[in-house]
A = this chain, B = another copy of it.
Amino acid sequence: MAVLRLSTTGLEVHCDDPLSRLAGFLDSVLRGVGQVMFQNNSYAGLLFLIGIAYNSWLFAVAVLVGTVASTLTAIVLGADRILVRSGMFGFNGGLVGVALLYFLQPVPLTWACVILAAACCTIVMAAMLAAFDIWKLPALTAPFVFISLCFFLATARFGRLETTGFLPTAGLPKAAAVEGVASASTIAEGLFNGVSQVFFQGSATTGMLFAAGLLVASRMAFAAGLAGSLAGLLVAWGMGAAEPAIRAGAFGFNSLLVAIALAGTFLTPSWAAIAYALLGAIATPFVAAAAAAALEPLGMPALTLPFVLVTWIFLLASRRFPKFRAKPTA
């Protein structure tokens, strides 16, 4: 009698012996990786992981350690089983893992911090589930943003936290001038770098592997994600953002996430929802530029804060516009 079965979204486990539970746990971890782009889908998670490993083994291990630590914390604390099983307590931990390894030296203390930070992600996630229940609003990657910024800011007080030098230099924001000239290669590279930046990776190939992961899970997510990354990039270009930042995908990943969230994840798909998602993806680069400038005196990156803010606002607003309906399953 089969107790493990592959479904269209990953592993189905129908037994409670230790081996099945381990298999179920590993499947939850892969779904956690997939949930970074809203996909409750182990195959998507696996492709995302392969995409990261293609660029850097270190970051792939960091994502796994973070996702495992936060998922385990949720199990130990007795969080809702269905949420744990669908990876909802994993994705923030996975992002914290890669963020800490990106901005802090890969020394043992940093790995210990990844485990503590990922455990804290689960607690912040549970807190936000409790707080946002009134509005039926998702927590998105807010726990990751909050916990990561805490650890990065703490480097200003804790001498044993060693940074990699990738954190922005603290300074006072000043009016930008147009830098560099965007070409066709800026657009092409920026489009896929925007996808790969969701996990802090700057590789067009990784971006393509991520896009493949999206395609496996949902054609709507694939189309919305690429269109979102492109929209963010084009708006930033039109507004005179620096060419290297555009090429690096810095204005793509937040728009990508907004577009997937609005066009097919939390709203019932419709032409109105697609137009609304496009408006969100267009507004996001402004919030991204503003958030980056607002954090400049602290020398901190904005991470996915712009995506979180724009998605919350557009989802809340959608309740007042009868054109849009919340997706029942989300």
Q: Does A189 contact B (CB under 8 A)?
A: no
- Given A120-B283, A123-B313, A160-B239, residue A289 in contact with residue B154 (CB < 8 A): yes
Determine whether A23 belongs to the interface, using a CB cutoff of 8 Å to chain B.
no
- The complex places the Cα of A149 from the Cα of B279 at a distance, in Å, of 19
Residues of B within 8 A of A160 (CB): 178, 238-240
How far is B155's CA from A204's CA once the two chains are assembled, in angstroms? 28
Q: Does A18 contact B (CB under 8 A)?
A: no
Stretch at the interface among A27-35, A77-85, A207-215: A77-85
A5 interfacial by beta-carbon distance below 8 Å: no
Shortest Cβ distance from A70 into chain B, in angstroms? 13
Beyond A127-B317, A279-B119, whether A322 also contacts B239 by CB under 8 A is no
Which residue of B131, B153, B172, B290 is within 8 Å of A294 (Cβ)? Answer: B153
- CB pair B241–A158 under 8 Å, yes or no, is yes
A177 CB to nearest B CB, Å: 5
Bound: A179/B157 CA distance, A: 10
Could you tell me if A135 and B126 are in contact, using CB atoms closer than 8 angstroms?
no
Interface-lining segment among A6-14, A52-60, A295-303: A295-303
Query: Are the C-beta atoms of B323 and A154 separated by less than 8 Å?
Result: no
Q: Does A184 contact B (CB under 8 A)?
A: no
The 7 tightest CB contacts between A and B, nearest first, are A160-B240, A159-B240, A159-B178, A157-B289, A153-B290, A126-B317, A127-B316
A interface, CB within 8 angstroms of B: 77-80, 109, 116, 119-120, 123-131, 134-135, 149-163, 170-179, 236, 238-242, 245, 279, 282-283, 286-287, 289-294, 296-299, 312-323
Further pairs besides A126-B316, A173-B298: 8, Cβ < 8 Å? A126-B318, A131-B316, A157-B289, A158-B241, A159-B177, A159-B241, A159-B242, A161-B175
22 cross-chain CB contacts under 8 A: A109-B239, A123-B314, A126-B317, A126-B320, A134-B134, A153-B290, A153-B291, A154-B239, A154-B290, A155-B293, A156-B175, A157-B245, A157-B293, A158-B286, A158-B289, A159-B178, A170-B172, A170-B173, A172-B297, A173-B299, A296-B298, A297-B298
